[in-house]
Structure 1
């Protein structure tokens, strides 16, 4: 998911060296380096064949420290007999945080953080605790998570995940693979609950994997076709948060599930969701470094140290260092900005709270007062704030015009992105037609840099005369002499620039929208700013009633494991009905309601035109997902990009890889700088969750 004003009322919506063996692909037990050395490639010295197409840092196992430590707070509880010793609370082999920039920290203290929503959303981006695998090195490497090691058969159709032995939930109860199977069998495969099939649980043919648990620590995933990208998909997102659940505490939640308790009632899912939500229910067990202590709806949440967190520092001290996190809800944009500029918080992640580059100058003037250190991390964005049409718009004539590449290309040529770059991004970043960002793995190797430039520059030139000529050729001309162009049949043509009504008034979206309207009006295309109630925004879009979206941006860590902008895969992006159709592949619903009008199906969904660009993209994507050779896989991805060059742009970007504001209070340690991350940061992509990927559990007060 793409973090354009991600928590400013509008949630906008992806990084890696992996050992590949001819017969076995083994996951490293721990990863030493977190900043790449020069001219290194992946390897662990275990004899596995290395996939040299995936260049990154050298991966070496980190030994588990012989001595274990814990916070004084927990040590007192151990001494009082109310908590087991630290060695009994940690797994047999805890995860050792590998980042090179880390200092040995001090226990204690509190972190004050701003939030824009009901503190049920932003906190999840701070926690990587439920994820089987995790990204490090700004997405260029995969590290173990709850899964200690992993391997596949030679054909990449059977993957075996070995979870750490001795893991415990925050209430002290053992974590076992029953918790994965509870999520899989009783939620994902349960049609009454309809959790949804995560992408990592589908093969390249779209069929659902068979998931089994031969013992308490092993999960086996069996696919009907090669699934070589499974580790990348498992590292994406934060599991049991913004991505797939992947596990739930069965010992706790089974009391609210009809399979285990017949007395839960017909509307059991509502209560189940309430009890499941670890961001609002302090009793819900977690595997994160902090667990919820207090929740005040619409006001705040407080998180306390999880005594059973399964991660240690390089000296063997159990994390986190900080005692508590406190999120404060400040819904009003200007009030929130004022509090930030007054130094009210200890860490401010700009993408979450609507901070923009316009805040940099006043923040620099106030450093003596606020005690902030101001960092500008690379966003990694491929588009900046962008615009895209609904390719499945309900009105046939407008839909036909939207699907005409020359129409969208003309509008792209009419967009003066330099104005946006100056006004919104303060002359930073790269002007772009719109695509994936320059830090996307496949765009950094082989033909990748060249392909990135072709995509970026394809329709980026500001040429209003060419735009007008192309529109004239389409018959989109001013037929009635009012100065505005009409549809080819003479009907009225107005493009609504739709955005959620609660978008930040001075945010990137609205600034860009005003400029976009100005540029399109100048060539005779009537447009209007159209705030849509947030409550109905997505439903309206998925039903084909919204004509455009203007508040998103595109970025990803790896194209092969996140093709959601390359093609429709779900109903929130540029072809919602076709995306909904794709998302139901392999389910019983795929073959249902085919004789019903696509807009009246439940959910609304439609197949792509045979032989059309989306059908071709789907066909190539199926090959990408099963291709085990990284070089051949990249070649298939370039073919998909070429369809965008020929039939696009499917989304119109503005500025790529602009900086993002991050504020760190003086004295807060182990928050990396842009230089320390090794790749300048990658903060705009939900698939590479930030700050979770930088392990806030290691932060401490000097």
Structure 2
């Protein structure tokens, strides 16, 4: 069934619900009854769009009850953005089957893969009651993204297709049209992301900070002086994703009421949220989200003590036994959702290393294959993940149609003898009396692997990698640093090898973007300078100069231009084959189980699910607005 047809079906369902709903004058949300009675808030029938989005509980779930506060723990104040992530209200969003459907939009239509007609819901309002219309899109496009003081580099690079920006039209209050000269298959997935491409802003709120809409003649001297820094003030107030400005209107199910920094954030239900259940009752069911800031190392213990109603942040598989032991005492259950990254733990040889010697090693496919073959993944799995992980490459997981055993295991099965042969073939035959390989200058062959130093798990895995690589005469020296320093060292080429998680989307289909599998982004630690070259259109970075990487780039370009599903799938398979053969990144273990703590009174959290950032937004695609407390 086409996405557009599904939108039509949703629209009809919404109209039917609205008909029944209007006949009974709708059920008012108890949380808002006092404000409605005082005349401070309009009745619910006037707060919803004329055609709200109808959502229904998933398999094994049920319609809920209103009320309650959901408590969760976060590691630092910036994690308040998870209210935006978990709320997962997007122009278009992923279903649990990872198909795209309209959400904030009433519908969308795609023509020739390059023209996107976005239809808004009539009567939809921001959380402060102001109308949400095409003016919010126009303001963002013309006055924000198109203003050099706010966007010095111009609109986001994600909107470029073939180096050209789209034509954007606003024919009426409920219609926005984006048109490119060539197909743009990335557009809708970008809108649906956990951290989405946001192409709208609350114009009515932000205009008060924009020089174009401020009458300077009415300002006093002090205000005029402050006006010189209007752009920074505008940017400080305009960040829908950060979710740290309580005054900034939102379209999410809950609105943050607490200014950052703080140790406790309160998300209060949005009185104008656009979704209803199948009985026409406005969502969400839960009144408030409470995000308490905690030291990361204490989150597992606090979860076991019952201090949280729903928790995934800050807990790992290694905590599962401890958490299970405390279930009865603290009245919760521990679910285990598989993660679906390409790999949970990955080594990134820096093909753009500054050192000529190390760049030469990292670019030699024999070297990368040897390092992969010399890792005892089974030992790592048994020692750290109870044997529950999937050993192999940074490829795709079994839930993907592209999955094959060869993609997972090629050059990734433990074979130190073949690894030694490959290194000898490279001429790395000199060893000291202990059998340790030597560099050309006579020094021991030691690879410095840099980490962001954020988990002890990384150190534990690298220690086991070091033990395994001793069998091929190579040692590991681990160098941790803060994330910003870590990234900058990689980008500059100072780092020769690093550690991070694998490809975000380990369950792609033909419509999924393979951009991360090609040199298109600086935050690809195996080829940061090639990615930077693409992002800056050749102004910085380095041009790709390895044939296999050039082929990946060309295949991605071919995928972008194709509108044929079978051709797109074939491109995906070829790109995955190249990665398995070339070992540009060295995966170790994947499909790690993520413990999910769920209070026994919290309902509609699925027993079986996947835990992923994008696509998935972690809890987002499972509709936390449908979660409810049975008390």
- The TM-score, its normalising length taken from structure 1, stands at 0.82
Correspondence for 1:183: 140
CA contact (8 A) 2:303 2:597 kept: no
Q: Deviations over 1:593-645 (max 9, x none)?
A: xxxxxxxx4xxx11111x62222111111111121111111111222223223
SS where residue 111 of structure 1 aligns?
A: strand
Q: Partner residue of 1:288? A: 252
Pair 1:148 & 2:106 matched:
yes
Work out whether 1:251 is the aligned partner of 2:204.
Answer: yes
Q: CA deviation at 1:198?
A: 5.2
1:100-111 matches, cutoff 5 A: 100-101=58-59, 102-111=61-70
1:537 partnered with 2:486:
yes
The CA deviation at 1:555 is 3.4
Q: Tell me if the contact between 1:382 and 1:655 (Cα under 8 Å) persists in the aligned partners.
A: no
Match of 1:682 in 2: 610
Aligned position for 2:394 = 434
On the 8 A contact 2:191/2:198 being kept in 1, the answer is: no
Q: Where do residues 588-607 of structure 1 align in structure 2 (5 Å cutoff)?
A: 590=537, 592=539, 601=540, 605-607=541-543
- Does the Cα contact within 8 Å between 2:14 and 2:54 map onto a contact in 1? no
2:410 paired residue among 453, 458, 481: 458
Q: Secondary structure at the match of 1:295?
A: coil
1:124-153 deviations in Å (ceiling 9; x for gaps):
321212x111111241x2221111211122
Q: Residue 112 of structure 1 contacts residue 325 of structure 1 at CA under 8 Å; is this kept in 2?
A: yes
1:528 and 2:477 aligned:
yes
1:164 and 2:97 aligned:
no
Secondary structure at the counterpart of residue 387 of structure 1? strand
Matched, 1:338 2:301: yes
**Which string of whole-angstrom CA distances, capped at 9 and with x for unpartnered residues, describes residues 504-561 of structure 1?**
33x3x22222212222233211211111123422222222222232131323143543
Cross-structure match for 2:39: 81
Q: 2:281 aligns with which of 301, 317, 323?
A: 317
Residue equivalent to 1:120: 80
2:48 and 2:274 in contact (8 A); partners too: yes
Distance in structure 1 (CA, Å) of the matches to 2:154 and 2:9 = 31
The residue that corresponds to 1:50 in the other structure is none
> Relative to structure 1, is the Cα distance of residues 582 and 396 closer, same or farther in structure 2, using a 3 angstrom cutoff?
same
Point out the structure with max Rg over C-alpha. 2
Residues 7-406 of structure 1 correspond to what in structure 2 (within 5 A)? 18-19=2-3, 28-29=7-8, 63-65=16-18, 66-67=20-21, 68-101=26-59, 102-118=61-77, 119-129=79-89, 131-139=90-98, 141-153=99-111, 155-194=112-151, 201-203=159-161, 205-228=162-185, 230-235=187-192, 237-238=193-194, 242-261=195-214, 263=224, 265-277=227-239, 279-295=243-259, 297-333=261-297, 335-349=298-312, 352-353=313-314, 355-406=315-366
C-alpha distance in 2 between matches for 1:301 and 1:260: 32
In the other structure, the counterpart of 2:619 is 691
Deviations, residues 242-288 of structure 1 (Å, cap 9, x unaligned)? 23222211111122233434756454443223212352221111101
Cα distance in 2, alignment partners of residues 189 and 138 from structure 1 = 36
1:587 match: none
Q: Is the 8 Å Cα contact of residues 312 and 318 (structure 1) preserved in structure 2?
A: yes
- Shift of residue 165 of structure 1? 1.4
Aligned to 1:655: 589
SS in structure 2 at match of 1:394: coil
- 2:158 and 2:6 map into 1 onto residues whose CA distance is 17
**Separation in 2 of the partners of 1:390 and 1:135?**
34
Give distance in 1, aligned partners of 2:129 and 2:110. 32
Change (3 A) 1:362 1:696: same
Correspondent of 1:608 among 544, 554, 559: 544
Do the aligned partners of 1:183 and 1:247 also contact (CA within 8 Å) in 2? yes
**Contact conserved, 1:436 with 1:555, CA < 8 A, in 2?**
no
Aligned equivalents of 1:317 and 1:504: distance in 2? Answer: 43
8 Å contact 1:18–1:142 — kept in the other structure? no
Shift of 1:173: 0.5
1:563 paired residue number: 514
1:54 alignment counterpart: none
Q: Is contact 2:340–2:590 with CA below 8 Å preserved after alignment?
A: yes
Number of aligned positions between the proteins: 608
* Per-residue deviation, 1:667: 0.9
Following the alignment from structure 2 to structure 1, what is the Cα–Cα distance between the partners of residues 144 and 183? Answer: 25
Task: Return the alpha-carbon distance in structure 1 between the equivalents of residues 515 and 64 of structure 2.
Answer: 40
Q: Aligned to 2:7, what secondary structure does the other structure show?
A: coil
Query: What is the aligned counterpart of 1:638 among 573, 578, 582?
Result: 573
Q: How far did 1:370 drift? A: 1.2
1:499 CA displacement: 1.2
Shift of the alpha carbon at 1:171? 0.8
Of the structure 1 ranges 459-468 and 565-574, higher mean CA displacement relative to structure 2 is found in 565-574
Instruction: Check conservation: 1:438, 1:657, Cα contact below 8 A.
Output: no
Return closer, same or farther for 1:496/1:122 CA change in 2, 3 Å cut-off. Answer: farther
In 2, distance between residues paired with 1:565 and 1:192? 30
Give distance in 2, aligned partners of 1:332 and 1:227.
40
Deviations 1:188-208 (A, max 9, x none): 3444333875576333x3433
Superposition deviation, residue 328 in structure 1: 0.9
* Aligned CA distance change for structure 1 residues 632 and 483 (closer, same or farther; 3 Å): same
Alpha-carbon separation, structure 1, partners of 2:157 and 2:611: 22
Q: Distance in 1 between matches of 2:490 and 2:155?
A: 22
**Structure 2 match to 1:420:** 380
Secondary structure of residue in 2 paired with 1:392? coil
Deviation by residue 1:627-675 (Cα, 9 ceiling, x = unmatched): 11111111112222232233x211111223232111100111111110x
